[in-house]
Amino acid sequence: MKLVADAIKGTQDALPKESYKWQYIEKVVKSVAQEFDFKEIRTPVFEKTELFQRGVGDTTDVVQKEMYTFEDKGKRSITLRPEGTAGAIRSILEHGLFNDALPIKAYYITSCYRYEKPQAGRLREFHQFGVECVGAKSPVADAEVIMLGKSVLERLGIKNISLEINSIGCPECRAKYTEALKEYFSKYKNDLCETCLSRLERNPMRILDCKSHICSKIAQDAPVILDYLCDECKEHFEKVKNYLTSANVEFTVNPKIVRGLDYYTKTVFEFITTEIGAQGAVCAGGRYDGLAEELGGPSLPSLGFAMGLERALLLMEKQGCPFPQDSVADIYIAPMGEMAQATAIKLCKTVREEGFSAVTDYSGRGLKAQMKYANKIGAKFSMVIGDNEIESGKATLKNMLSGEEIEVEIGNNFANSLYKVCKDSILSEIENTALF
């Protein structure tokens, strides 16, 4: 088959047979967000390019290499969002939400776009569940946000995930640390990869995150940020650890976590797996106390995280996490002939009004082909409507699994009859397989 255009590299379709898995994940993340009283925020898929340049940071890989940026017909530079935080904070500032009760607790489930080398768990269009807690400076907020992420992973049934945390300090303590890093890495100028060489001046902390074998080896003995934290940052980090410990949340401190986006301050964290190859970070986040000001708003200490939903799904499939079954049609109504077709549509309408799902034939197929279809879609009951049924006002409802047959009235009394005769069996089957 030669299509006019196939899908763009690095994008994925959620097909009708698979989309229930996405619906399930979305349902779970929404319900956990609700338990923590986070409300949904929806922002546009594109924003002015400056938002990400300023918000995410000019020196980051995301802004330098990965953004989908284009000029629109009005000659404005537009970018498809590479992440959700900048847009969410822009929106919160623009609508003055900080004048209401603080903190503002928002979550999103959204598509993101990054020009990356596609591979398992790394796409050009991917989806994130993210939360932002804006206007909360206490370390309690850090612990709560981390616990929210953990709850989502647990609720999805994902196992063997480790939580790694670090503090990357505030601009003051980081300035000293950056100097120390520059001094350290300068000694290895001849060995660092090209990217890291350019990071040396602009953002030496990112060298710690380099995936190249040589750079990560060099980074092993680099100075550690935790030795450079100012008193306030140190105290904040200690409290976060204490709160997590008292809530029985296991974690390890990994001083190498620096995160890819420039806006982070103090606490940063990642939920990591080794089970889906190199793309081990399923959920990552941290504090970004300076971002609101950076974007032109007031000072609003904030934090959040983003969870890669494709990675979560990959992991769930790999680990055999249970997904509730997709919904299937309750009743397939098979018409025999033109007159029956009109009756079938009417009966379908009634079935749906009674709160069940109904399917009928759209292709003028014979009975055998129709029953084959009903079987294929997994319909729970079937009912044949022909001249005899119309004449007698009665039809047979067949349980497709057990073969049991029940007579129902199909005249004006159809709804009542349907409800009375098969309420128990249909309802119990529906409850067994209900998705929501």
Contacts with ligand ATP, residue ranges (CB under 6 A): 83, 114, 116, 121-123, 126, 128, 260-261, 279, 281-284, 306, 308, 310-311
Nearest to 291 by CA among 45, 57, 44, 38: 57
Toward ligand ATP, which CB reaches closer, 278 or 377?
A: 278
Q: What are residue 302's DSSP bridge partners?
A: 134
- Residue 427 beta carbon to ligand ATP: minimum distance, rounded to whole angstroms: 40
Toward ligand ATP, which CB reaches closer, 66 or 361?
A: 66
- Residue 28 beta carbon to ligand ATP: minimum distance, rounded to whole angstroms: 16
Q: Which residue is nearest to ligand ATP (CB)?
A: 308
Toward ligand ATP, which CB reaches closer, 306 or 331?
A: 306
Toward ligand ATP, which CB reaches closer, 284 or 344?
A: 284
Radius of gyration of the chain (CA): 28
- Residue 73 beta carbon to ligand ATP: minimum distance, rounded to whole angstroms: 28
- Residue 333 beta carbon to ligand ATP: minimum distance, rounded to whole angstroms: 43
- Residue 152 beta carbon to ligand ATP: minimum distance, rounded to whole angstroms: 12
Per the CB < 8 A criterion, the answer to whether 306 and 87 are in contact is no
Toward ligand ATP, which CB reaches closer, 168 or 410?
A: 168
Q: Is 22 exposed, middle or buried (0-12, 13-18, 19+ CB in 10 A)?
A: middle
Instruction: Enter the DSSP assignment of 3.
Output: -
Q: What are residue 409's DSSP bridge partners?
A: 394
- Residue 281 beta carbon to ligand ATP: minimum distance, rounded to whole angstroms: 4
Toward ligand ATP, which CB reaches closer, 114 or 150?
A: 114
- Residue 305 beta carbon to ligand ATP: minimum distance, rounded to whole angstroms: 8
Three-point CA angle 351, 352, 357, nearest 5°: 90
Q: Is 322 exposed, middle or buried (0-12, 13-18, 19+ CB in 10 A)?
A: exposed
CA distance 357 to 369: 20
Nearest to 114 by CA among 72, 52, 59: 52
CA–chain centroid gap for 254, Å, is 25
Toward ligand ATP, which CB reaches closer, 135 or 308?
A: 308
